[in-house]
Amino acid sequence: MTKTAELAAKLRGLDINDMYENDFFLTWDKSDDEIAAVFAVADALRDLRERNISTKIFDSGLGISNFRDNSTRTRFSFASACNLLGLEVQDLDEGKSQIAHGETVRETANMISFMADVVGIRDDMYIGKGHTYQKEVADALKEGYEDGVLEQKPTLVNLQCDIDHPTQTLADLDHVIHYFGGVENLKGKKIAMTWAYSPSYGKPLSVPQGVIGLFTRFGMDVVLAHPEGYDVMPEVEEVAKANVTKNGGSFTKTNDMKEAFQDADIVYPKSWASFAAMERRTELYGKGDFDGIDKLEQELLAENATHKDWECTEEMMQLTKEGKALYLHCLPADITDVSCKEGEVAASVFDRYRAPLYKEASYKPYVIAAMIFLAKVKDPATALEELEAKACNRKEF
């Protein structure tokens, strides 16, 4: 039995009817079966592509990306996912478009989606804004479809918002599952999601939030560590706690990086801005107070600089389980003496984990493709089986 056949069989046992014609905003909107389905489809698509079997399910159609913040890896992951399924990518570059002319979200959402099967949005800059914007777009697309404006209802994929970064954390988790040889082996494993020092400012909270909201579903011991004041959104901590109540494991917090690293199986040291600071920033933004934003930035950078000891050094790594915890990062990392003078991680640690880090990133295109596949295909298990049976070459000759 091939890997794809196994995964299709597994998929058939999952309750995933609600994924069809639906969107993907936050991992905690999704049931355990739905999360499992994303991994099953992602791994099957990868297996097929590795065997040079085409996974195109669209002969034409567009994938629209809207990046309201800079991006390389997510941009290319989205493009790769669309291409894998047969969709052509069109970027909505708001600089070039008439959105600057005061156009409403609803109108633009429709105008770009006449032939769109998926709309991917990254909007992570302002607390309380990104997720709300994505919801508005999704509502507009649903209405446009019902009104006969759009020939199909595009699925919305969250490519990072102020709350969650599901394509990242699911790629991280798929990597972890493969590393530990199966999702069943995660139970009891300790993961340290910790803040780390970076000379840059205002990094989104969606990664730490996404990690605590997702990894607590698998019976793991999830520790969130950060200096005082660098809290994440309380709602997401509630999600983590509820997960633990349901699935076992634990969710704890500490202001001590060493405590978090102690005996950890996995470490995820990464800089972020505090929730409270980001809320102040959103308020200033709302008032158009850009001087205030600049001042806040200086203040936060100064505050950050008091925590330069939050670095993932060799000494810190020695504290982890047998000194060999799996090191995760969403990339790019701020590497001490490489990309900056003092950063999140020591060069020697980063170097040792480079290949696994790249592998971690390589799951993202498949995770995004799986989200689209599950939203667009009514019977994904059969579809995977038929793709495998047809076995069209991805590359001829």
Contacts of 258 (CB under 8 A, 6+ apart): 316, 319
Task: Scan residues 21-50 and list those touching a second copy (CB under 8 A).
Answer: 46, 49-50
The number of angstroms, rounded, from the C-alpha of 312 to the middle of its chain's C-alpha atoms is: 22
Angle formed at CA 372 by CA 326 and CA 29, multiple of 5 degrees: 70
By the 10 Å C-beta count (0-12 exposed, 13-18 middle, 19+ buried), 120 is classed as buried
Contact between 76 and a second copy (CB under 8 A)? Answer: yes
Task: Scan residues 78-97 and list those touching a second copy (CB under 8 A).
Answer: 79-80, 83-84, 86, 88-90, 92, 96-97
HSE (side-chain half, CA atoms, 13 Å) at 70: 2
Q: Which stretch binds a second copy (CB under 8 A): 52-60, 212-220, 237-245, 274-282?
A: 52-60
Task: Scan residues 211-270 and list those touching a second copy (CB under 8 A).
Answer: none
Q: Residue 130 carries which side chain, given as an amino acid letter?
A: G
Task: Scan residues 102-161 and list those touching a second copy (CB under 8 A).
Answer: 102-104, 106-108, 110-115, 117, 144, 147-152
Least Å from the CB of residue 239 to a second copy:
28
Q: Residue 141 carries which side chain, given as an amino acid letter?
A: L
Least Å from the CB of residue 200 to a second copy:
7
Rounded CA separation 108/120 (Å): 14
Contact (CB, 8 A) for 272 and 224? no
Q: 76 vs 285, which CB is nearer to a second copy?
A: 76
The number of angstroms, rounded, from the C-alpha of 317 to the middle of its chain's C-alpha atoms is: 25
Peptide bond into 356 cis (omega under 30): no
Least Å from the CB of residue 88 to a second copy:
5
Kindly write down the DSSP assignment for every residue of 272-327, as one continuous string: ---HHHHHHHHHHHHTT-HHHHHHHHHHHHHHHHTTTT--B-HHHHHTSGGG-PEE
Least Å from the CB of residue 139 to a second copy:
13
Least Å from the CB of residue 319 to a second copy:
27
Least Å from the CB of residue 246 to a second copy:
33
Query: Which of 105, 293, 301, 377: binder of a second copy (CB under 8 A)?
Result: 377
Q: Identify the sign of the CA torsion 238, 223, 272, 64.
A: negative
Query: Which of 276, 305, 391, 392: binder of a second copy (CB under 8 A)?
Result: 392
Q: 290 vs 358, which CB is nearer to a second copy?
A: 358
Task: Scan residues 334-373 and list those touching a second copy (CB under 8 A).
Answer: 334, 338-340, 354-355, 358-359, 361-362, 364-365
Rounded CA separation 211/232 (Å): 11
Least Å from the CB of residue 258 to a second copy:
28
Rounded CA separation 346/121 (Å): 32
Number of residues that bind a second copy (CB under 8 A): 85
Least Å from the CB of residue 305 to a second copy:
18
Q: 17 vs 200, which CB is nearer to a second copy?
A: 200
Task: Scan residues 172-211 and list those touching a second copy (CB under 8 A).
Answer: 200
Q: 223 vs 372, which CB is nearer to a second copy?
A: 372
Rounded CA separation 83/31 (Å): 28
